[in-house]
Amino acid sequence: MAAFEVSDELLAALVPNIVYWVYLWTYMALESSCDDYRLHPKEDEDEKNLVSKKTVIKGVLWQQLRQVITAILLYKVIGRNDDGAFAGQPSSFIVIARQFVVAMVVLDTYQYFLHRYMHQNKFLYRHFHSEHHRLVVPYTYGAIYNHPLEGFLFDIVGGTLSFVLSGMSARTSIFFFCFGTMKSIDDHCGMLLPGNPFHLLRNNTAFHDFHHQHYGGKYNFSQPFFVF
């Protein structure tokens, strides 16, 4: 019987979404013992947020389903070489590192200007981006909770651009999008835990949490890696 093999393309479509739930559950498991590191009291989630936990979870699952479908279709469109290797397969650590940096810059630049415009345009904010800001004290699992159209523009289009323009392979994209997923969850976790390497960046949990407050909506548009 032939061994069951899972392609890099399928792993690239599925693994970042699995990591999303596994990583956020580590934060949720720590909540009861890490109150001293929370940016807001636990009860603020229920008092200040304008959307239910059930609605957020349903919205995130719908967004992830669309991301999986898009990723599978994208890999099929890009295709493989005659020898079966995925197009753009890197050959060295230097190439992979360069692709990571390019993808980070592309994703950050695209999301920064789109995010800023979503706030400056009253129509777009009222009808689309305000959905995400119904989370004043974000639930950890609400990192990618958005209006469906915004989720498509931010995460699906942004992720596609960073993947294509960086030239990374499907295998490399597994690590890149898992890294980006963990950073996004960290930005919305509401806890400044000591020793967290993500907090060495200026664009960290406190930076993005300020943006979610009613008084911070005009500031801190950068996400997820750098500060513009």
Residues 6-55: tens digit of each pLDDT:
888 999 999 999 999 999 999 988 887 888 889 898 888 889 999 999 99
What is the pTM for the complete model shown?
Answer: 0.90
Long-range (24+ apart) CB contacts under 8 A made by 127-132 are 131/51
The pLDDT score that the predictor gives to residue 223 is 80
Phi-psi region of 159 (alpha: psi -120 to 50; beta: other; left: phi over 0): alpha
* Residues 222, 108 contacting (CB under 8 angstroms): yes
Q: CA 128, CA 102: separation in Å to the nearest integer? A: 28
- What digits encode the pLDDT tens for the residues 41-68? 888 888 999 999 999 999 999 999 999 9
β-strand partners of 38: 191
DSSP 36: G
Cα angle for residues 196, 201, 207 (degrees, 5° grid) = 95
Q: CA 134, CA 141: separation in Å to the nearest integer? A: 14
| Per-residue confidence band for 5, with pLDDT thresholds at 50, 70 and 90 | confident
Greatest CA separation found in the chain?
62
